[in-house]
Structure 1
């Protein structure tokens, strides 16, 4: 679509959907070039507000008689992005999925705050690389001054926009928070990132006012719950607090936590004591549970104690079933248990269970998907190496989220042994039963009995 046609389209939409000044109604529409889905879904937090089917020209529209002001997300699978809406808005968006975020442009009533939020989002991605270098290069006071200078530059740009466009109080608050919490997060991460490059590998001594911004943070602002810089800050903040206040029982040895159970239990209690807004608290609790259960690979006794503490503090958590399912899945793949009897398909389309595949031999199960070519290319190379260095194992690939034709093409292109490759139609069952995280994990079995369900394909087999 050339620029003149785009302007005509915007004027046509605007004329058909005029929103009177002071009206509570909201109109949000747009065009998607190279669509990857038939729908656009509008969400507020985790709640789906509405969905719109793309028409023959790849355009969509939402129209509401009234809608609460605030931050929303629009999703066009697999991508998504913020959109801020408030009564009276008549907003247009255009994007190309080949370059989703970078091609996105808002126009119409409500464009100022949305284009600003998008600029902050894109700026944060670029700035992250610069800040990462400063973690290493700068001492704490110089780093703090650098971050403050960057933050003030963006705040000044926001104030200029506000003076020119007159943002609503709520829109200004969201935009300001998107700036502040990104820079607050850099400060929270600084001691640990700096330690990685320090010669003595110790946490740097910080001035008494290094965290002076903490007196301005809010634990009870529902509008910010799904603002990415705010949530990322909260994760870093509670990790920081837990480390700094838990040095005895957590057994911090060589500046690193050794008792992950106590550390994460302590983090749950800190979140419970400080966070007021329930949805934020639920989400942070979920993050801690996933982080502990998936990454620590702790003993079963500690996992059970952690879940008991989780239920005690957050028994009404909106994610409780998801956490319980994860815990049960981990419990079921402990050593000496039989590998879960998941059904997969072979190259001929026949169904077979993992227990059948693994009986009477030593097996390494690994996982891959067409969605990450770099990952599966590296995995295939690693498997070829292991076949030579560890020939007493059979290496079984389990594929997911790949069409049948693509799967077969990848097998042929990479000259893989089809007899040792399987695919699944039920990704949810696979991930729930085998805890396929991280993707570099592998499961080692002997005669269908689990030896190690949390091994790394790049580690010791």
Structure 2
């Protein structure tokens, strides 16, 4: 789930603490646990609350800093969150059903109207994404006409709402910013989702004014990494800029995300344009991890790592990337897996290599907080088991929680437990096996030697890899 867009620094009239207070509370239908987290929008904790016997909570903001906050709780798809605009003297009550998190969310009380507007805009934007994908198959001018119209309708609706209700400049700026960056995002993704031609030809065909808004971009608005659409906009914007630069010095006609030169250009542009260190560092690490996840050529990793280290000021990110690169160098085809231990459902301990059992083996990963991936991956594996009975499929849980919580989760969703295992040391396992993203899969031969340490069961080529493993 994406958090709703909005930019605290740009949208606040005054970010200083006030003497006023405010309240945020509500009722949770079908709670998955008793805990509600109140945080800033960049996930810094403010307080942890416990639902009462009526599944309700209430939090008082003393000496309020007006702006956006987030409430987080366990829902059908794991830990979910949504944002709320809190201003002096608000008393905002929410009601939501965890089975339909965003769709069921409604507010009452003082401050409710503006927040119902925010959630409705968020839901509308999700629907608009599908429309934009359809429009993206049109010519640049026709596409631009459609997204211009969508933007104008949203601004008109905001003007009408503002004339009928008492709202702050903070709220108006917040919605305008959301609308603008959602519009910018649509323009930036156009070359990547138009399927009629190569990206080079699409970019060449764009009207000169297509990206005129780029002169208005603020690259360093603080505390917005988790907001939609600002961060997704920046991601696609730098992809777009880098591809345009890459085409100037290469004969490529299509986007190749595995290309080292293209990704080095992305890092360079982020470093030169983004001045806020937190935002820059997040864009840099995400770009680096994305490249490493896509590119299986270990020789390219060192060049990317050198560029990354010269630009990032985040020591944790640097150490993290160093560790992933070092791990992936060990996980080369032909090598065996590092010696890591797991528990089975009966609390017996095994090494990973003992799980191979003289069969080609697929090892896949999951965690409780990514419920949708857990369900999708297990469903896919059940289908593959039927088609490829000669292959051994092993599920590995990477949660750093108790073994009982793992067992309870398996029992709740009624999947077979015979091939389910829990890492004894999940933190070490995540580092040694470079488990990022969560949907990565490791494919081994019948002797436990690595065939591919970074494949994906949802890839179009995955079943071909299985067949090749069987024929070795």
Contact 2:67 2:86 in 1 (8 A): yes
Contact 2:277 2:313 in 1 (8 A): no
Q: Look up the match of 1:373.
A: 375
Q: Look up the match of 1:382.
A: 384
Looking at structure 2, the residues matched to 323 and 450 of structure 1 have their Cα atoms a distance apart, in angstroms, of 22
Q: Evaluate the alpha carbon distance shift between residue 374 and residue 315 of structure 1 in structure 2; reply closer, same or farther with a 3 A threshold.
A: closer
Q: Shift of residue 451 of structure 1? A: 3.0
Contact 1:282 1:318 in 2 (8 A): no
Q: Look up the match of 1:139.
A: 139
Q: Shift of residue 252 of structure 1? A: 5.5
- The count of residues paired between Structure 1 and Structure 2 equals 428
Contact 1:252 1:258 in 2 (8 A): no
Task: Identify which of 34, 38, 41 aligns with 2:37.
Answer: 41
Q: Look up the match of 1:222.
A: 222
**What's the secondary structure of 2:335's corresponding residue?**
coil
Looking at structure 2, the residues matched to 224 and 427 of structure 1 have their Cα atoms a distance apart, in angstroms, of 30
Pairwise CA RMSD of aligned residues?
Answer: 2.8
Q: Shift of residue 207 of structure 1? A: 0.3
> Structure 1: where are the runs of 5+ without partners?
1-21
> Structure 2: where are the runs of 5+ without partners?
1-17, 400-404, 467-472
Task: Identify which of 32, 50, 55 aligns with 1:58.
Answer: 55
Q: Look up the match of 2:64.
A: 67
Q: Shift of residue 424 of structure 1? A: 3.6
Looking at structure 2, the residues matched to 430 and 422 of structure 1 have their Cα atoms a distance apart, in angstroms, of 12
**What's the secondary structure of 1:269's corresponding residue?**
helix
**What's the secondary structure of 1:143's corresponding residue?**
helix
Contact 1:71 1:223 in 2 (8 A): no
**What's the secondary structure of 1:257's corresponding residue?**
coil
Contact 1:25 1:88 in 2 (8 A): yes
Q: Look up the match of 1:120.
A: 121
1:31 aligns with 2:32: no
**What's the secondary structure of 1:247's corresponding residue?**
helix
Looking at structure 1, the residues matched to 66 and 348 of structure 2 have their Cα atoms a distance apart, in angstroms, of 53
Contact 1:346 1:421 in 2 (8 A): yes
Q: Look up the match of 1:14.
A: none
Looking at structure 1, the residues matched to 346 and 184 of structure 2 have their Cα atoms a distance apart, in angstroms, of 55
Q: Shift of residue 198 of structure 1? A: 4.0
Looking at structure 1, the residues matched to 314 and 226 of structure 2 have their Cα atoms a distance apart, in angstroms, of 20
Query: Which runs of 4 or more aligned residues in structure 1 lie more than 6 Å from their structure 2 counterparts after TM superposition?
Result: 408-411
**What's the secondary structure of 1:452's corresponding residue?**
strand
Q: Shift of residue 129 of structure 1? A: 1.4
TM-score, normalised to structure 2's length?
0.82
Rg larger for: 1
Q: Look up the match of 1:270.
A: 269
**What's the secondary structure of 2:202's corresponding residue?**
coil
Q: Shift of residue 279 of structure 1? A: 2.0
Map of 1:103-182 to 2, 5 A cutoff? 103-136=104-137, 138-182=138-182
Looking at structure 2, the residues matched to 104 and 200 of structure 1 have their Cα atoms a distance apart, in angstroms, of 40
Contact 1:91 1:108 in 2 (8 A): yes
Higher relative contact order (CA 8 A, sep 6+): 2
Task: Identify which of 337, 340, 352 aligns with 1:339.
Answer: 337
Looking at structure 2, the residues matched to 426 and 252 of structure 1 have their Cα atoms a distance apart, in angstroms, of 47
Q: Shift of residue 75 of structure 1? A: 0.4
Q: Evaluate the alpha carbon distance shift between residue 258 and residue 100 of structure 1 in structure 2; reply closer, same or farther with a 3 A threshold.
A: closer
TM-score, normalised to structure 1's length?
0.84
Contact 1:89 1:109 in 2 (8 A): yes
**What's the secondary structure of 2:136's corresponding residue?**
helix
Looking at structure 1, the residues matched to 394 and 261 of structure 2 have their Cα atoms a distance apart, in angstroms, of 37
Q: Look up the match of 2:10.
A: none
Q: Shift of residue 50 of structure 1? A: 1.6
Contact 2:27 2:95 in 1 (8 A): yes
Deviations 1:15-59 (A, max 9, x none): xxxxxxx85222211111111122111222131122211111111
